Chains A and B, each alone.
Chain A
């Protein structure tokens, strides 16, 4: 197994600022916008961006939620293990809002497909966008592309992208792992 650093802590920091600015450019005051972190790993990124927007860019009110897609996945009973759920916390209506899904890695696009179904349980959004830190090019199973991307990488099938966050894993770093 070999491990290569894709993004260092400093690079992640710069990218987070850029993503925050891009969100700001499209959503201005976030009045009709809600950010939804996808469980389990997208939630860290969503919280980071929300904090950044609040503290460094002075956006006063941002609706942040987390969405668990376990019960909406299309691979139930196909794997060996029982799929374990995480918490969904959406304390607001998404009806007629602009929803931004936030996830760490975009790979096959199947989680996003599940999220698109799952969010319907909370209303009919005006539009849905997608933000991902890492976009794995050429590996999509579905016609899904991000609106905001941190870094695009060409990873082949045997490789894995691992995103670590300081609050959960001790440091901010993104690895490309070859198994």
Chain B
């Protein structure tokens, strides 16, 4: 088993356990590469990758671009705000125009769920989903699991709680799928209004008491409240949200054991976690960012090797 079972990375949903293991093993090698003084390998020198972002992003876009450059791929960047999309061009037309300039791979972020799946059926290129609406964000979930594996040795059997805005979060769904696939126990915790109905059908349990959830877990993945996706008020005030679902140093220290704190970024300091927690030894937030580059290099490398 030395190649991925898929041609695109559209979501964790389409991967199997072997795929995840292969991505992690490959990422181990790339992590060694990016810690050298010369952090670049020439593998993808004949590949061109387009980063198409229809939604804002700093971390993910930078991380993908860096991963592509470290693999020596040629990179073109495109963001919707400065493009013909504003003039009424359709998604397929936009992408096909880019592909006719001989592009081999597309990394796309789009506000609509399923945009990448749709695109993969209509264009002839390898597609990587960099986030589609509130649906999936597979590379984030992979780097989160990879960071847990690095910190705790393995993912299987670990208790992970995902705290916050589960309803609007693509990170939550991809994380749940990835963690379950690797045999972790997953709990979600947040205000009832921000937890989707029937989420138990994904094999997770729901907890509305943050202290109980933290006492149960080995790892807490803190999500950001996505105000930009909220059309109505889901909780009375930010202050009340912080009081019930924010993690602070005092709360962490009152727990029975030392847990690992993760956050996919961007952090709203003082809302979901306080600054002293974000910067503490228990937090692996910056480690996640470093691993993000290695994971994306692995995914791009493995998918690119299937382009003939």
Using CB atoms and an 8 Å cutoff, list the residues of chain A in contact with chain B.
68, 70-73, 76-77, 81-88, 117, 120-123
- Chain B residue at smallest Cβ distance from A95: B37
Q: Which residues of B contact A72 (CB under 8 A)?
A: 41-43
- Are A85 and B26 within 8 A (Cβ)? yes
- Are A71 and B308 within 8 A (Cβ)? no
> Known: A76-B43, A76-B305, A121-B37. Contact between A84 and B2, CB under 8 A?
yes
Number of B residues with CB within 8 Å of any CB on chain A: 24
B186 contacts the other chain (Cβ, under 8 Å)? no
Interchain CA distance A123-B37 in the complex, whole Å = 8
B28 to chain A, nearest CB (A): 8
- Are A120 and B43 within 8 A (Cβ)? no
- Are A71 and B306 within 8 A (Cβ)? no
- Are A76 and B44 within 8 A (Cβ)? yes
Q: Which residues of B contact A122 (CB under 8 A)?
A: 36-38
- Are A71 and B43 within 8 A (Cβ)? yes
- Chain A residue at smallest Cβ distance from B301: A71
Q: Mark B18-43, 1 if CB is under 8 A from A, else 0.
A: 00000000100100110011101111
B218 to chain A, nearest CB (A): 28
B302 contacts the other chain (Cβ, under 8 Å)? yes
Residue from the list B4, B32, B46, B302 in contact with A88, Cβ < 8 A: B32
B290 to chain A, nearest CB (A): 18
Interchain CA distance A33-B169 in the complex, whole Å = 54
Question: Top 8 A-B pairs ranked by shortest CB distance?
Answer: A71-B41, A82-B3, A121-B38, A82-B305, A85-B29, A71-B43, A84-B2, A121-B36
- Chain A residue at smallest Cβ distance from B45: A76
Interchain CA distance A82-B18 in the complex, whole Å = 14
Interchain CA distance A4-B169 in the complex, whole Å = 62
B62 contacts the other chain (Cβ, under 8 Å)? no
A119 to chain B, nearest CB (A): 10
Q: Which residues of B contact A68 (CB under 8 A)?
A: 29
Query: How many pairs, one residue from A and one from B, have CB atoms within 8 Å of each other in the complex?
Result: 53
10 pairs from A and B in contact (CB 8 Å cutoff): A71-B41, A82-B302, A82-B305, A85-B26, A87-B29, A88-B33, A120-B38, A121-B38, A121-B40, A123-B37
Q: What 11 new A-B contacts, CB under 8 Å, besides A84-B2, A85-B26, A122-B38?
A: A71-B29, A71-B42, A71-B43, A71-B71, A71-B301, A76-B305, A81-B2, A82-B2, A82-B306, A121-B40, A121-B41
Q: Which residues of B contact A84 (CB under 8 A)?
A: 2
A92 to chain B, nearest CB (A): 13
A70 to chain B, nearest CB (A): 8
The interface centre, meaning the residue of A83, A84, A88 with most chain B CB atoms within 10 A of its CB, is: A84
Q: Which residues of B contact A71 (CB under 8 A)?
A: 29, 33, 41-43, 71, 301
Interchain CA distance A86-B44 in the complex, whole Å = 18
- Chain A residue at smallest Cβ distance from B44: A76
Interchain CA distance A72-B32 in the complex, whole Å = 15
The interface centre, meaning the residue of B33, B36, B42, B306 with most chain A CB atoms within 10 A of its CB, is: B42
Interchain CA distance A83-B301 in the complex, whole Å = 10
B307 contacts the other chain (Cβ, under 8 Å)? yes
Q: Which residues of B contact A82 (CB under 8 A)?
A: 2-4, 302, 305-306
B283 to chain A, nearest CB (A): 29
- Chain A residue at smallest Cβ distance from B298: A85
The interface centre, meaning the residue of B33, B40, B302 with most chain A CB atoms within 10 A of its CB, is: B33
A141 to chain B, nearest CB (A): 18
A93 to chain B, nearest CB (A): 9
Q: Which residues of B contact A85 (CB under 8 A)?
A: 26, 29
B304 contacts the other chain (Cβ, under 8 Å)? yes
The interface centre, meaning the residue of A68, A73, A82, A88 with most chain B CB atoms within 10 A of its CB, is: A82
